[in-house]
Amino acid sequence: MDQDTADKLIAEAVQARENAYAPYSKFKVGAAVVTGKGKLYSGCNIENASYSLCTCAERTAIVKAVSSGEKNLRWMAVVADTAQPVAPCGACRQLMAEFGIEKIVMASTAGQRKIVSVTELLPYSFNPSMLLGEELHSE
């Protein structure tokens, strides 16, 4: 991930974080994703009084991109007010793997950042090819 894109993604994520709806945890998260064509989508976490319905910021951004017709996603940023760059949850890592996100810049609002690959975050991921048998491939 180049520096310019990382800066832009973090700026978008910081802005999206302003819209976080986190009255229960008070933990605001922002995320942004860039597609293979260079289009950006951002998102925030959205909580619910029925706690299990809380949506992560990364998931919001990815769902916005995919529902806009973008299935080829490339890089992502996530930001929160944490002592270390914030790490995405396990479920969001699986979602990143599904849509081909290669790298993620994890960041804190204080300006720390760390770039990691989704393969590092989720080695041996369950992926779409596992659902398809050899017969299906040859059809």
Binders of ligand THU among 62-121, rule CB under 6 A? 88-89, 92
Find the binder of ligand THU among 13, 34, 57, 66 (CB under 6 A). 57
Burial of 125: CB neighbours in 10 Å, binned 0-12, 13-18, 19+: middle
Q: Which long-range contacts (CB under 8 A, 24 or more apart) does 40-43 make?
A: 40/8, 40/9, 40/12, 41/65, 41/68, 41/70, 42/12, 42/13, 42/15, 42/16, 43/16
For 57-77, the DSSP string reads HHHHHHHHHHHTT---EEEEE
Least Å from the CB of residue 122 to ligand THU: 13
Is 58 an active-site residue?
yes
Least Å from the CB of residue 96 to ligand THU: 10
Find the binder of ligand THU among 56, 79, 101, 105 (CB under 6 A). 56
Joined together, the tokens standing for residue 10 give 């973090």
Find the binder of ligand THU among 7, 27, 71, 110 (CB under 6 A). 27
Least Å from the CB of residue 7 to ligand THU: 21
Out of 18, 47, 58, 120, the active site residue is 58
Joined together, the tokens standing for residue 63 give 């769902």
Residues that are catalytic? 58
Residues making contact with ligand THU (CB under 6 A): 22, 25, 27, 29, 45, 47, 54, 56-58, 88-89, 92
